[in-house]
Chains A and B, each alone.
Chain A
Amino acid sequence: MPYPNTSEPDDELTPELKRALVEIGAIIPTTTEEVELAEAQYTSEPSSAKVNAAFEKVLFLLAEEAPAEGFIQLPTATASTTGCELAMAARNGGELDADTLAKIEQDVARATQNPS
């Protein structure tokens, strides 16, 4: 059966592309059809000791009153605000003002100086 075409005419994510992204694991499967495709791809079989240890962690979380959170973090470099404005300006292709250009030139000069 082809992937059900539920997308809008202008949806950039075609059913075929979505299906392929599910199969390689880039999208979490959320329908039974997607689960079936994903099951055909995965081969991992953790040890029973690992499964038991993981279950104990779940019980620990359930013992807490509030639902757990905190499994995603920003990388340290991204979390820092130092230089964010420069990075954003560069990525967005905006014009840099004279002060910013001067700062970049100073940084480049410092970085390329001989350590002696």
Chain B
Amino acid sequence: MQAVSIDFTQESDAGLLYLIGEATDEPTEKSLARDAMREFHVRHYPYVLGRLGEFAKNMGSVVVDVERFTAITFEKAFRAAKRFKDTSHGIHELASRKVRAWMGQIATNLVRDELKRVNRKQFGIQLVPLNDDIDAAIDTDESDQDESLEPTDSRALAELKAILATLRVEEQDILITYATFGKPTATGRELPPDIRDALEERTRYERSNIRQKWRRLSQRLKAQLEPFLNT
């Protein structure tokens, strides 16, 4: 068997994911894939842990194990490595952001599945887990415009944090759930039925009250942040 030596620190994220996704059970390929996973993990772990940790702090009415959430996000990314499409045209910074956006989509899908699981568990419903190959498709980041956004005024961010800190846990949950999973419609933002049902169970609010809460919260945030957002 011929020894293969690759300097993984020089490899692109897409290259690492290719090695991970295409590896067979052959020992050399498995070893390469493991080294590729380690390098990928080193590059993105601090960012992913940081973002999921912040998200967890705001997910009011549930308790999130952030380290396990981060580990499962990487696990899912490695299992789905074949599905990542690199459209960065060799631009290093953009490639890294595309990978992180893709992992953000994976993490968001995991939260959705997990919230449904918690809801089912509460009612004693057991489901057989799907094989990963036939699991829900993971969206790719093809709609990106690849242009920078201006950062928000720091006073607005401080105000927003202060407001969120004053909300009750179920109000935080409603806000974050609508902002994360809601889809805009002609009559306002709507939640997919499974997400909405789970939110009703977690918060113990009725559907109409949840919607009313979301509207009031979003109006309040807009009103309080407007002076900073328009300067």
Contacts and interface: CB of A to CB of B under 8 A. Distances in A.
Contacts of B164: 24, 26
B12 interface: no
Contact of B132 (A28, A34, A67): A67
A92 B205 contact: yes
B188 A12 contact: yes
Contact of B147 (A1, A62, A68): A1
Interface residues of A, number: 67
Given A26-B164, A57-B67, A74-B202, A69 B72 contact: yes
Contacts of B101: 29-32, 34-35
Interface residues of B, number: 98
B179 interface: yes
A110 interface: no
Most buried by B among A24, A37, A84: A24
11 contacts: A4-B145, A20-B157, A23-B157, A28-B104, A37-B151, A55-B37, A61-B75, A67-B72, A68-B72, A71-B72, A74-B122
Interface of B: 34, 37-38, 41-42, 45-47, 49-55, 57-59, 61-65, 67-72, 74-76, 78-79, 94, 97-98, 100-101, 104-105, 107-108, 110-111, 113-115, 117-118, 122, 129, 131-132, 135, 141, 143-152, 156-157, 160-161, 164, 170, 175-176, 178-180, 182, 184-189, 202-206, 209, 214-215, 218-219, 221-222, 225, 229
